[in-house]
Structure 1
Amino acid sequence: MKLIREEEIEIQNRLNAGDGTALELLFHRYYNDLCRYLIIFLKDENVAKNIVQDLFLYLWENHVNIDFKKSLESYLYQACRFNALLYIRNENRHEKSHEKIRNTSTEESSDVSSELEVKELNRIINEAIDLLPDRCRQIFNLSRSRGLSYHEIATQLEISVSAVDNQVNIAIKRIKRHIGFYYANVFIACFLLGKL
């Protein structure tokens, strides 16, 4: 059952205010449909459920900042799809899922779409990095692009390790804020894999 826009706005306001019943309402209304959608896409029920559960966890942890610019339903489906694409991309990196990717891509257009989304993600991440303050960007790039440890960066720039840690954390927060929910999980995964 779809929500009309007024109901979506009310739910968003309640969610922003920390009303757990609003999240519970969304969960009961959309959880099964989102899982079915991802099961078709991923052919893996457990992964699909994990992605959907992570989405609802994210909604709760970030309830103050959630803004459904379009429709709530569209937001949920797009977020699930994007995180499913991230999962596929990460599986591909580990060379475990070449066959799984072929099975999930029923049309050539979905492959093209995935490639375009990855390019768009990289563009948005680079844009977010470019918007960082100079020192913060320098430290972040030394850490992620050049792969230097915090200690190596601190030695090179003649600052403390805690200052390096602080600047990297500031960079991560600003980048996450810039790219929004759809890309936040991708960024975290790339960060953890050291690919940025």
Structure 2
Amino acid sequence: MLRDREEVKDILQQIFSLIWTGRKELEIQSQLSGYLYTAVRNRIFKVIAHKQVTSKYISSLADFGSTGECETDHLTRERQLLAIIEKEISELPEKMREIFELSRKQGLSHKQIVCSLICLRKP
């Protein structure tokens, strides 16, 4: 069932070790061969189930690694970048900053910016 001779040896060793350590409390109600068969079968099912869980976990981890993104990291970087940009904008000369903000933040065209600057200057 497992197709791995070493793994089967490990399972048998574990079962015999458990039987030996619990030999004083162990009461086998049926034949020893039936008890051993059931113990080995149940342990194999447990190993197979554990392999399936491990396989699913590794698969989901690989999928996340190839397609997933770390949102927290991206959001932090975005906030840091925005803070740097805002700092640099605030250090621009007044007129240049005003034109930049009209263009980038308010989305005005060059013509609209010129009109708004001329209208602001008229008394």
TM-score (norm 1): 0.28
Larger radius of gyration: 2
More RCO (CA 8 Å, sep 6+) = 1
TM norm structure 2: 0.44
